[in-house]
Structure 1
Amino acid sequence: MRLLAPALVTAAVLLSACGTTETPASTAPTGSAGGPVTVTDARGKEVKLDSPAAKVVTLEWAETETVASLGVMPVGVADAAGYKTWDAAVPLADDVKDVGKRNEPSVDSIVALDPDLVIMAKGRDETLVGQLEKYVPVIVTQASDASRNLDRLREDTKLIARAIGKSAEGDALLSDLDAAIADGRKAVEAKGATGTPFVMADGWLEGSTVNIRPFGKGSLVSDAAEAIGLKNAWTGEVDPQWGLGATDVEGMTAVTDPKTMLFYSASEEDVFTTGLAANPVWQRLPFVANGKIVKLEPGTWTFGGPKSVVGVVEQFVKAATA
């Protein structure tokens, strides 16, 4: 979900399906530790492994982060350079191989690594799964669900952890996330900042126009921020999987509460500075006029795994309690 081309954002916002009607992924393994493992992924498909996977290829950054967080360095990842720019939660080892783009990885490059397992996100090229399964087991994660994103994150994490024999580490990772949220909520309450309105966004330049992508209710960042007691002020239309909207600077005038804080991410070009600094509409927005703008640290991946969400929570708490 790195910054999408405008046409793709429009398509995402116009999606009509809500939530999911699929059977939730089962992560219960069969067999003893180190022995055969069977999990049911986001497709509802049973994936059987002779043993927990040790050589793993990941085709999405959140899955890359999660596998590495659990103590198993992937042997191959999609868009390694992009991961290093956008997701700083867990560094990649220097010998991890790049297997191509996230939306178009190389089957040949993946198979050449002789992995035990490929992990990819739901919603990517569906034909890719069939191509890969001729050679290697594939697990598909839910990746996002704007009706229940924190619970979805927990399920994806447990699914991955069980498949690679790291269930205890997965539970610890989620415990750290829960603790960060609980501590953050207490800090926000103690500061009297509960209910503080916020808008989260990223954006990109198209010619001289800045396209803005607000993170609405149901996005992973919004769920995390609301879990610590803040209130999402963006009420525009968002898509049902990622909770993302699409607007421009004029559209942001819908946000009128002077207490609103703007959080934004820009691990590459900062269009909120370069494209909007002299824009008179931008200058009149309440969070600009009141100096309530927070740029997330470079490498804060807003669609990441538990460690990324902890980083988001910590930055929101710091800003809300300053």
Structure 2
Amino acid sequence: MRRIVLALALALSATMGAEAGETDKPRLIALDWGLATTLLGIGVEVRGVPEKPAFLDWVQDPAPAPSSRDLGLRLAPDMERLEEADPDFILISPQFASIEKRLESIAPVRSFAIFTPEKTPLANARSVTRALGDLAENPEGAEALIADTDRAIAALREKAEAQRETCGFLVVNFVRGGTVRVFGEGSLYGGVLEEAGLANGWTGATNFWGFATVPVSELLHHPDDELIIVSPVPVEVRQMLAAEDDVLSNGLFGKIPALRKGRYTMMRPVWSFGGLTEARTFARELSATDLPDCSNDNS
């Protein structure tokens, strides 16, 4: 009987020790969605995200646990909900500097920058991933995410190299029916294309985030590029693209070479202001498409 009691006591002690080890990990909240997805990508659960319904529309995967709190607006979070989440650290990017002092009344604040004036978001994302892995006490998870992302980009590069000549890619997100964001130098998408050895069709000026907001008519000037349309898109655009006859008969849209030739891909939501999880997803999604071969394109 004493042996049974002793065995039960040892088992209970081991269980409590394991639970204590888990709860001893820092409790983290990231107000920046890119930092939140990086934490999720390295296997760290976040205790809440701001604007959670919008997060699920624009980011989707990786998704936070259903139990994670909606913390209100990104730049004006609900302080009561933040306090209830009881974080050890609140993570922000420099764009949240205006509310940093308020946040410090809840918990210590740590700031990490993926997008900087140097316009190297992919390299920065690797560094930030390692820093978050250290803070979350999960450096192994961080290295695993980095390695997984590198493999995804390498697979895309190998697929591109197998073709004699691939077209350039024009990565866009429709803001409204007549306006698009087109991603070039300094964008996360552009960084993936560059590392994979693929040409980015947009060589014009870009802003701090690596994109330019231009009228749809600008797409008329890219007859040889494959169009990558990153979701979500406005309802009217989605409905039009769902019916090919409408594309060809719809004035301006029908004149856009990529749409007229059917050389476009609808991509699931991939947060353009994210980090390595988004870079990995973008590389995988692009690898899953049929890369256009322009070597014999006479259309």
Relative to the length of structure 1, the TM-score reads 0.75
Q: Output the CA distance in 2 between the equivalents of 1:246 and 1:171.
A: 35
Structure 1 stretches of 4+ moved >4 Å? none
Q: 1:319, 1:94 → 2: CA distance?
A: 31
Equivalent pair of 1:64/1:74 in contact (CA under 8 Å): yes
> Per-residue deviation at 1:201?
0.7
Please name the residue that 2:222 is paired with.
Answer: 255
Alignment match, 1:305: 275
User: 1:102-113 alignment to 2 at 5 Å?
Assistant: 102-113=74-85
Aligned length: 263
Match of 1:71? 43
Contact 1:216 1:234 in 2 (8 A): yes
Alpha-carbon deviations, 1:1-20, whole Å to 9, x = none?
A: xxxxxxxxxxxxxxxxxxxx
Q: How far has the Cα of 1:169 moved from its partner?
A: 0.9
Q: Is it true that 1:57 corresponds to 2:39 in the alignment? A: no
Question: Is contact 1:53-1:116 (8 Å) kept?
Answer: no
Please give the alpha-carbon distance, in whole angstroms, between the structure 2 residues aligned to 1:93 and 1:256: 43
Q: 1:201 to 1:271 in 2, by over 3 A?
A: farther
User: Following TM superposition, by how much is the alpha carbon of 1:268 offset from its aligned partner in structure 2, in angstroms?
Assistant: 5.4
1:210-269, Cα deviation, whole Å (9 max, x unpaired): 211111122001111222121111133210x21110111222222232xx1000112253
Return the offset for 1:104. 1.9
Query: Which of residues 200, 207, 218 is equivalent to 1:232?
Result: 200
Q: Which of residues 140, 150, 158 in structure 1 aligns to 2:122?
A: 150
Query: Aligned to 1:191, which of 140, 145, 163?
Result: 163
Is 1:218–2:181 an aligned residue pair? no
* 1:162 corresponding residue in structure 2: 134
CA distance in 2: counterparts of 1:171 and 1:204, whole angstroms: 35
- 1:316 and 2:281 correspond: no
Structure 2: segments with no counterpart, 5+ residues: 1-22, 242-246, 293-299
In the alignment, is the contact (CA less than 8 A) between 1:56 and 1:119 conserved in 2?
yes
Cα deviation per residue 1:35-71 (whole Å; 9 max; x = unaligned)?
Answer: xxxxxxxxxxxxxxxx985211111221111112222
Alpha-carbon offset, residue 93 of structure 1: 1.1
Question: What residue identity is the alignment partner of 2:216?
Answer: V
Contact 1:52/1:163 (<8 A) preserved:
no
CA contact (8 A) 2:154 2:196 kept: yes
1:53–1:117: 8 Å Cα contact kept in structure 2? no
- Highest Rg: 1 or 2? 2
Q: Does the CA contact (< 8 Å) of 2:188 and 2:275 recur in 1?
A: no
Structure 2 Cα separation of the partners of residues 270 and 148 of structure 1:
33
Distance 2:202 2:103 in 1: 40
The residue that corresponds to 2:231 in the other structure is 266
Structure (1/2) with the larger helix percentage: 2
User: % of aligned pairs identical?
Assistant: 23
SS of alignment partner, residue 232 of structure 2: coil
| Residues 145-174 of structure 1: CA deviation (Å, up to 9, x unaligned) | 362111011111111111111111101110
**How large is the RMSD of aligned CA atoms in angstroms?**
2.2
CA positional deviation for 1:275: 6.7
Cα deviation for residue 320 of structure 1 reads 4.4
In structure 1, distance between residues paired with 2:66 and 2:288: 33
Instruction: Report the alpha carbon displacement of residue 271 of structure 1 after superposing the two structures with TM.
Output: 4.7
Displacement, 1:318?
Answer: 2.7
